[in-house]
Amino acid sequence: MPTWASSTCTRLRFLHRDIKPGNLLVNSNCVLKICDFGLARVEEPNRRRHMTQEVVTQYYRAPEILMGATHYDAAVDMWSVGCIFAELLGRRILFQASTPIQQLELITDLLGSPSAEDMSTVCQGARQHMMRRPYKPAALHVLYSLSSQTSPDAVHLLAQMLAFSPAKRLRVTDALSHPYLDEGRLRYHACMCRCCWSAGGQPRQYTQDYEPSAHQAFDDTWERELTSVVQVKDRMRKFIVNHMSPEKVPLCINPQSAAYRSFASSTVAHPSELPPSPHQWEA
């Protein structure tokens, strides 16, 4: 399901840039939705335009971002999905370090030392740092120890999701066609989905499209036209007014909820609560 959700982002031509378990919402019918698009942005086709590295929670951050790449694509979201997949198998965070440098160490412990080709998009300082490190062989066999249910197909899919080089990392469309997902897709469409149906004791009618795609890419023209905070506030006010309707269910907050007190007193995160900033590599 995270793979399919990520594919929707890709087909809409934008990057989520913070895919993690806390941003995946699942109901009792296994319908999954991605939330928190605060770090999302449209794809940047111009490789000369720099993109921020202040994205993705560190445990799910792709190596190219850890190593100072100034341009990246949807492969960073696929890396995050791979980390979540491993977490589902092993019931623990796959790469859990306290600093970006230690995060890279854990990644290379599993994947081995990257080649010069694998580091073609990273900054010079990060490349030199990695080349000074002792050589490490890949240890992908460790993935089999994530759980007793880890199959060869699962390891094959996971290893491709976690390729060090973004150019070699599995793309969403290829991930969705991987044999490992066939059984789960069959079970979902056999009894839990809303796109297939049964009626009058007749055989179940299955949808023609198991992987529905977005009809058009996300258009960010309106966003690029906003040049000031005043414009943003005015646009938000107009949106709220235009979408007010007495027929819609109003938002209701329950003061008796156990979580109400912490919700009512919540504030923005303190600096000590923020994730580690990207490492400042030497030029």
Q: State the pLDDT at residue 46.
A: 87
What does the block give as tokens for 151?
């199959």
Q: State the pLDDT at residue 188.
A: 76
Q: State the pLDDT at residue 25.
A: 87
Checking phi first, is residue 188 left (phi over 0); if not, alpha (psi -120 to 50) or beta? alpha
Checking phi first, is residue 231 left (phi over 0); if not, alpha (psi -120 to 50) or beta? alpha
Q: How far apart, in Å, are the Cα atoms of 124 and each of 47, 105, 115, 185, 199?
A: 17, 18, 14, 43, 62
Which candidate in 18, 73, 77, 118 is catalytic? 18
Q: State the pLDDT at residue 122.
A: 92
Determine whether domain 1-283 maps to CATH 3.90.1660.10. no
Tell me if residue 18 is catalytic: yes
Q: State the pLDDT at residue 189.
A: 74
Interior angle at CA 210, CA 205 and CA 215, nearest 5: 120
pLDDT in tens, the chain (283 residues): 555 555 555 556 789 999 999 888 888 777 788 888 888 888 888 888 899 888 889 999 999 999 999 999 999 999 999 999 999 999 999 999 999 999 999 999 999 999 999 999 999 999 999 999 999 999 999 999 999 889 999 999 999 999 999 999 999 889 888 999 888 887 777 777 767 767 666 666 766 666 666 667 777 787 888 889 999 899 888 888 888 777 776 777 788 888 888 877 776 556 665 666 788 887 6
